[in-house]
Chain A
């Protein structure tokens, strides 16, 4: 690896239906907060990394050109990174590459989405190629339910058991979202509410599914020498891993899911992690669908394959458990897609620097951030710690 990279500031907007601001105004809010958090100003930044969903989402092509003023990016190297759901994590990785390469010491990373401005499921339908897959693999809930059903069947998990574990995750996230000032969906729910809510893509119900949000997230990354110069106590990026799969959904195994397994393995190897369950203190697992989160536990080595439900049933992934997951309320309650993976990264950075406020996991030193994207096809993982 090149030079060490740290996160020295984060900024998030309140998420939800943000008709009070235009798209660049929303980004200006997040970027301003990242500068406030880091004590830096736009002239300190050497390069800017930005990204969002396919531009059909907001109806403006190449949106980084539209965002440029809101990011203070005029006159600087500017790049757009976009990998659908995993965009936010790809952004974090792209920012990392910029600094780790030694080319830049201070980089601004920005992800945003305004999902109330277009047709999110219709936009996602344009992600599948038009000849073979588009009529069938459009709309995220359908794809993820195909995957969840196969997962439950592979391991002979009873439908009722999986449904109850998923419902517990939904309640956990909806409860935790109240403690995150930036979270979108804040409603009190019970397990019974979840299992009785409307079916979206059988067996997945409306309370198992994330919303589409308006929101932005910004982050400032710095080299080790810049961290020393500034004299700050940052969150260090200890490992990054990313992996993609074939273009055809039916080609890969989505249960023993290679892209998720490889992304985690690569990040663990760089970070020197051999036992993630013991060595991680907190994980921001990308969970747009409750069912899918349990599949990720298995692929990330939090438990053996087929045992994801047990981590929920035994409280391991709940607050107070061995490995609390998504204390921010997660993607399930807040999902401005282009920003979502970057929010996971920002939240992990807040946790390990003891800055997570009301949703702080006490004593968290090392965390995992994750996002998934493409056509259920890409996974990215980042390991973040308060020491190098």
Chain B
């Protein structure tokens, strides 16, 4: 923690910084989900009770509370459920705005995946709106160098 102090008109301001390191355990299911990314495979797990294919793959069903150990590969393609062009900045942002985010309903999955929508010009809002549309088809574009995390998928590209 670094501290300093500056004067303001009304009362003094103490400036500081809190920066903490973490080590987040993924568990075996998320570990396998991301290992499959290295081979460009997107896997979900199916609930035996409600038959939904959950994405990302997970250990138990959010509705039925049942363990979900049946792995199912879902498509690299799907429909864009919704999208937004982000045009504001914040600490820890993954890329420079403007950029496009979407919720993607991959074929064969019952849960939408949030990710970037890319492969389109992002400097004109009206141009983006022409290229990106709700219900439109999108396809995963993978990074050449994959290390097993959510950003191994570079973005989803509109394909129709």
Contacts and interface: CB of A to CB of B under 8 A. Distances in A.
Interface of A: 19-22, 56, 59, 119, 121-122, 124-125, 130-133, 135-139, 141-142, 145-147, 149-150, 153, 198-202, 246-251
Contacts of B108: none
A354 B143 CA distance: 62
Contact of B18 (A59, A132, A136): A59
Given A121-B90, A142-B101, A136 B116 contact: yes
Contact of A149 (B82, B94, B113): B82
A130 B114 contact: no
Interface string B21-41: 010101000100000000000
Given A136-B101, A199-B87, A125 B92 contact: yes
Contacts of B103: 146, 150, 249-250
Contacts of A122: 90-92
A202 B85 CA distance: 5
B123 interface: no
Given A59-B16, A202-B128, A246-B62, 9 more contacts: A19-B10, A21-B11, A22-B11, A132-B150, A135-B151, A146-B103, A149-B84, A201-B84, A250-B55
Given A199-B125, A246-B62, A249-B103, A121 B88 contact: yes
Contacts of A145: 84
B85 A201 contact: yes
Contacts of A20: 10-11
A125 B59 CA distance: 25
A250 B111 contact: yes
A150 B92 contact: no
Contacts of A142: 84, 86, 101
Nearest to B112: A250
B33 to A, nearest CB: 9
A250 B81 contact: yes
A119 B91 contact: yes
A200 B84 CA distance: 10
Interface of B: 8, 10-11, 13, 16, 18, 22, 24, 26, 30, 55-56, 62-63, 81-88, 90-94, 101-105, 111-116, 125, 128-129, 134-135, 149-151
Contacts of A201: 84-88
A135 B90 CA distance: 12
A135 B86 CA distance: 12
Given A20-B10, A149-B82, A202-B84, A138 B134 contact: no
B82 A150 contact: yes
B111 A19 contact: no
A125 B62 CA distance: 23
Contact of B82 (A135, A146, A247): A146
Contacts of A147: 82
Contacts of B81: 150, 250
Contacts of B135: 153
Contacts of B104: 250
B101 A146 contact: yes
A371 B115 CA distance: 27
A141 B129 CA distance: 18
B62 A248 contact: yes
B50 to A, nearest CB: 12
Contacts of A56: 18
Contacts of B82: 146-147, 149-150, 153
B15 to A, nearest CB: 10
B117 to A, nearest CB: 10
B26 A131 contact: yes
A248 B81 CA distance: 14
A146 B125 contact: no
Contacts of B102: 146
